[in-house]
Amino acid sequence: MRQMRNLKKHRFMYMILLPGLLYFVVYKYVPMLGLIIAFKDYKLMLGFWDSPWAGWHNFTQFMQGVYFWDIMANTLLISLYKLLFGFTAPIVLALMLNEVRTEWFKRSVQTLTYLPHFVSWVIVYGLMVALLSPGDGLVNQLLQASGFQTIAFLTEPEWIRPLIVTSDVWKETGWGAILYLAALSGIDPSLYEAARIDGASKGRQIWHVTLPGIRNVMIILLILKLSNILDAGFDQIFMMANVFNLEKADIIDTWVYREGLERMNVSLATAVGIFKSVIAFVLVVGANKVAKRFDGQIW
């Protein structure tokens, strides 16, 4: 009865909430019925329901395959490099911009740094070809003019991971700094005044006032990034990978693309998607628990 009274009392609020709930039900939960394909030997001619059951075969086939450890290593290494540099770079940029007192310069730098976020990876790769191609690339022309040998940046396996991480940091740092700048604007200025009165240097003010002030935002974004630890960036790597550097660039998503769309092995591709989702769920829950445990004990 109490629930019914609350429902009646707040009926207009629930009506406002209803479209959002319907969106998630129709577009997020109903399609989850398709996960059954991961446990079947899906045949296009037999259809969704009549395809024979395969149990855990698709999962074991993926984890016991000769390619499993290679693509897992590539995915994790690229994701961890992106997490290490891509998570800290926006914080550093936001802290630097927060100290700029010339408003027009601050806004200009902020605009220039977040514009690359809107550039597609097709255009970014075109720029990289213009700069790094072994024949007429600008960087290789400078190396050749300086007496050094040219380097095949885009085809050498040892160069592909640094290029992936560097281009991702360049593209997303300015956009990621927006959230931190918004959080920095909410810090009480009197805290800085009190720190200066106590004789705190600029570094101490950042450590004891600024960083604790944006701690919650940092934790939330870290949890979100951990949930995507197995998503190393399909669009980017699909553009940059080729037959020469595939051994260092092939990740789970590009492998799923080849298996699911090129070879039409839909069941195996779906099983890998569930595998990624389970790991992401465990990482998010674990990171959230760790964040709650250490909340209030940092700095």
Q: How far apart are CA 225 and CA 233, in angstroms?
A: 12
Helix 103-114 crosses helix 68-98 at what angle (to 10 degrees)?
Answer: 170
The 10s digit of each residue's pLDDT in 150-207 is 888 888 889 999 999 999 999 999 998 988 988 888 888 888 888 888 888 888 888 8
CB atoms near residue 75 (< 10 Å): 23
Spatial CA neighbour of 99 closest among 234, 14, 209, 256: 209
Q: What tokens were used for 187? A: 């810090």
Residue 53's DSSP bridge partners are 40
Q: How far apart are CA 132 and CA 152, in angstroms?
A: 7
Give the pLDDT score at 299. Answer: 42
With contact defined as beta carbons under 8 Å apart, do 298 and 212 qualify? yes
Give the pLDDT band of residue 297 (cuts 50, 70, 90): very low
With contact defined as beta carbons under 8 Å apart, do 292 and 219 qualify? no
Give the pLDDT score at 74. Answer: 92
Give the pLDDT score at 292. Answer: 72
User: Apex CA 125: angle with CA 122 and CA 130, to 5°?
Assistant: 125
Find the range with the poorest average confidence among 95-104, 147-156, 286-295.
Answer: 286-295
Give me the chain's average pLDDT, please.
86
Q: Nearest 5°: phi and psi at 53?
A: -70, 145
Q: What is the pTM of this model?
A: 0.82
Give the pLDDT band of residue 58 (cuts 50, 70, 90): confident
Residue 40's DSSP bridge partners are 53
The 10s digit of each residue's pLDDT in 5-45 is 877 777 888 888 888 889 988 988 888 888 888 888 888 77
pLDDT (average), residues 211-234: 84
Give the pLDDT score at 295. Answer: 57
Q: How far apart are CA 17 and CA 127, in angstroms?
A: 45
Q: DSSP readout, 227-238?
A: HTTT---HHHHH
Helix 215-227 crosses helix 266-294 at what angle (to 10 degrees)?
Answer: 160
Q: How many Å separate Cα 174 from the centre of its chain? A: 15
Find the range with the poorest average confidence among 30-34, 145-149, 287-291.
Answer: 287-291
Q: Which residue has the tokens 């940046």?
A: 153
Is pLDDT above 80 for 135? no
User: Apex CA 157: angle with CA 154 and CA 163, to 5°?
Assistant: 50
Find the range with the poorest average confidence among 76-85, 97-106, 223-232, 286-295.
Answer: 286-295
Helix 11-24 crosses helix 2-9 at what angle (to 10 degrees)?
Answer: 90
pLDDT (average), residues 92-108: 89
Q: Provide long-range contacts, Cβ within 8 A and 24+ apart, for 237-242.
A: 237/78, 237/164, 239/121, 239/122, 239/124, 239/125, 240/125, 240/128, 240/154, 240/160, 240/163, 240/164, 240/167, 241/160, 242/154, 242/155
Give the pLDDT band of residue 217 (cuts 50, 70, 90): confident
Q: What tokens were used for 299? A: 């700095």
In the chain, what is the straight-line distance between the N-terminal and C-terminal CA atoms, in Å?
47
Give the pLDDT band of residue 116 (cuts 50, 70, 90): very high
Is pLDDT above 50 for 1? yes
With contact defined as beta carbons under 8 Å apart, do 299 and 215 qualify? yes
Give the pLDDT score at 92. Answer: 92
Give the pLDDT band of residue 125 (cuts 50, 70, 90): very high
